[in-house]
Amino acid sequence: MTVLKDTPSSEQRPAVQVRPVRDRDDQEAVYAIREEVFHHEQHLTPYVRDDPDDAYSLTVLATVDDRPVGTGRVTLFGDEAQIAWVAVLKPYRGRGVGSAVMHYLIRWSQAQGARYVTLNAQTHALDFYRRLGFEPVGRRFYMGHIEHQVMVLDLRAQPERK
Ligand SMILES: CC(C)(COP(=O)(O)OP(=O)(O)OC[C@H]1O[C@@H](n2cnc3c(N)ncnc32)[C@H](O)[C@@H]1OP(=O)(O)O)[C@@H](O)C(=O)NCCC(=O)NCCS
């Protein structure tokens, strides 16, 4: 999948590619991005390789000019698709990489027949997820030192994403 996002000046930026992890190198690139963002940048967790759900989830890698820059993961639990580990390297933020990752994961969830998508959003990113159609549910809570909010996207209320 290719997503090209125009800047306000219409200058063309390099295309963002999103693909499922396909080999060990891709998986290592995913761990490196998780480690950079969730461990070194956010001090949230050093345990970026130890999530047991990885074994039966779809993990994607986003690249710009073949450089790994973003990732995300989705896990199916019955009719719920749960998204986690969404991260984009700092120098590549604000150019559509995170949105491209999310659109890929949401489309895949729809294709699998999921009825809704859930995630634990860091509250600084609420607007990022709201723009994608997610709504907050319940009260905010802390995971580590970072405030989070459960968010839900009802796929039954969504047109099929192309
Ligand atoms: C949140 C994150 C994944 C967004 O990735 P990104 O590549 O910068 O997102 P995009 O460029 O696709 O942004 C899409 C839109 O959301 C907005 N947006 C992005 N991050 C935002 C944030 N933290 N708060 C509010 N709006 C945000 C952008 O301005 C953009 O709006 P536009 O379409 O009007 O330009 C990225 O900032 C990140 O990795 N942060 C650190 C890790 C993290 O917080 N992960 C989420 C855990 S829940």
* 86 CA to centre of ligand 1 in angstroms: 10
Mean residue pLDDT of the chain comes to 92
Atom number, ligand 1, closest to the C-alpha of residue 92: 7
Tokens at 96, concatenated: 């559509």
Q: How far is CA 99 from the centre of its chain?
A: 8
Backbone angles phi, psi at 156, to 5 degrees: -70, -25
Express each pLDDT in 13-23 by its tens digit. 669 999 999 99
User: Which tens digit of pLDDT belongs to each residue from 49-91?
Assistant: 989 999 999 999 999 999 999 999 999 999 999 999 999 999 9
| Cross-strand partners of 77 | 80
Which helix (H) or strand (E) covers residue 58, if one does? Answer: strand 58-64
- C-beta separation of 17 from 26 below 8 A: no
Judge whether 82 and 119 are in contact, CB under 8 Å. Answer: yes
Q: What is the pTM of this model?
A: 0.91
Q: Which domains does the chain have, with CATH numbers?
A: 2-157 (3.40.630.30)
Question: Does any ligand 1 atom lie closer than 6 A to the CB of residue 125?
Answer: yes
Mean pLDDT of 94-114: 97
Which residue's CA is the closest to the ligand 1 atom numbered 8? 93
Distance 102 CA to ligand 1 centre (A): 10
Determine the Cα–Cα distance for residues 104 and 81; give it in Å rounded to an integer: 13
